[in-house]
């Protein structure tokens, strides 16, 4: 019978020791690989892993995001059905770090992710984009509007609205909104003028028509007789007044 010392220095024990170390190393590598693989890969500035965008949306968004990036306002969008952290802000932070966006102060990330209780959004926008909101709409109001759209399930509209808003504020600051409001005011003014004139003409016609069929003697409504176009007779059944036109 071998002693304990002989067992530990035997080749059989060493084989088991090596197998145990190999299993530990394999588990560590598997854990590391799983941790790295649970975050999505970056495809471009639009990363729609939930397929909420339509065919023409990608080219439209990529074009506008490229123009924003050329103006020093980079933005990447991620739409996902899986959040390994069950926390949109943490998910966005980890994705931004993996995609190396947080190292660039001119790059931002918008995350739209499906959680257990519905869609959520996480926005990490650079100061260059937030500074665009200096007019009537504040960045906070914009963020609340987009958040409400996302939580209502309108993720596609939220993405399009966000990118279009940034693009409009950058390349058409205030001009489009002002022109729209001006056109709307002019249209409303013409509508009220035309409607008022039409209403006045109709009232005037009714008053004249009513006056013509009233008896000038007692004020009662007269009856019209006569079938020929050039011959019209009216008489009042109350006082007997008769009139021919």
Please report, for the domain that includes residue 161, its CATH number: 3.10.310.50
DSSP string, 183-238: HHHHHHHHHHHHHHHHHHHHHHHHHHHHHHTB-TTT-PBPEEE--STT--EEE-TT
pTM for this predicted structure: 0.58
Residue 4 lies in a domain: no
Within a domain: 40: no
pLDDT tens digit sequence for 124-168: 999 999 999 976 678 999 999 999 999 999 999 999 999 999 999
Q: Does the residue 80 lie in any domain?
A: yes
The span from the CA of 47 to the CA of 77, in Å, is: 6
Read off the pLDDT of residues 168-189 as tens digits, 9 standing for 90 and up: 999 987 654 555 555 556 666 6
The reply to whether 73 and 141 lie within a common domain is yes
Domain count, the chain: 2
Residue 10 lies in a domain: no
164 and 72 belong to one structural domain: yes
| 64's tokens | 């506008």
Structural domain range at position 222: 214-245
**78 lies in the same domain as 155:** yes
Residue after which a domain boundary falls, among 121, 146, 173 = 173
Average model confidence (pLDDT) across the chain: 80
56 and 141 belong to one structural domain: yes
- Residue 112, pLDDT score: 98
In a domain, 153, yes or no: yes
Q: In 3-state terms, what secondary structure has residue 89?
A: helix
Statement to judge: residues 51 and 160 lie in one domain = yes
- Residue finishing a domain among 150, 173, 196: 173
Contact 151/120 with Cβ under 8 angstroms? yes
pLDDT digits (tens, 9 = 90+) for 25-65: 555 444 444 444 489 999 999 999 999 999 899 999 999 99
Question: Within a domain: residue 121?
Answer: yes
Same domain, yes or no, for 222 and 106?
Answer: no
Same domain, 144 and 227: no
Same domain, 150 and 237: no
Could you tell me if residue 192 is inside a domain?
A: no
User: Does residue 124 sit in the same domain as residue 241?
Assistant: no
Cα–Cα dist 222/212, whole Å? 9
Q: How many CB atoms lie within 10 A of CB 95?
A: 24
**Are 166 and 227 in a shared domain?**
no
pLDDT at 190 over 80: no
113 part of a folded domain: yes
**Could you tell me if 95 and 78 are in contact, meaning their C-beta atoms sit under 8 angstroms apart?**
yes
Instruction: Give the per-residue pLDDT at 146.
Output: 96
């Amino acid at each position: 019978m071998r002693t304990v010392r002989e067992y530990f220095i035997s080749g059989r024990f060493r084989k088991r020791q090596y197998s145990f170390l190999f299993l530990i190393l394999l588990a560590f590598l598997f854990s590391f690989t799983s941790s790295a693989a649970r975050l999505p890969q970056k495809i471009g500035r639009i990363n729609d892993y939930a397929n909420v965008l339509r065919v023409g949306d990608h080219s439209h968004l990529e074009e506008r995001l490229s123009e924003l990036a050329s103006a020093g306002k980079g933005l990447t969008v991620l739409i996902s059905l899986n959040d390994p952290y069950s926390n949109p802000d943490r998910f966005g932070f980890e994705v931004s770090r993996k995609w190396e966006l947080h190292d660039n102060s001119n790059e931002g990330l918008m995350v739209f992710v499906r959680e257990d209780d519905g869609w959520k959004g996480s926005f990490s926008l650079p100061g260059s984009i937030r500074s665009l909101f200096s007019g009537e709409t504040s960045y906070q109001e914009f963020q609340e509007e987009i958040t409400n759209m996302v939580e209502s399930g309108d993720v596609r509209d939220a993405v399009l609205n966000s990118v279009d808003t940034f693009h409009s504020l950058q390349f058409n600051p205030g001009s489009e909104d002002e022109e729209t409001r001006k056109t709307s005011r002019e249209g409303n003014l013409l509508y009220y003028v035309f409607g008022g004139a039409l209403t006045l003409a109709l009232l005037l016609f009714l008053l004249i028509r009513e006056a013509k069929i009233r008896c000038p003697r007692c004020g009662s409504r007269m009856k019209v007789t006569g079938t020929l176009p050039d011959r019209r007779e009216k008489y009042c059944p109350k006082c007997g007044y008769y009139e021919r036109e």
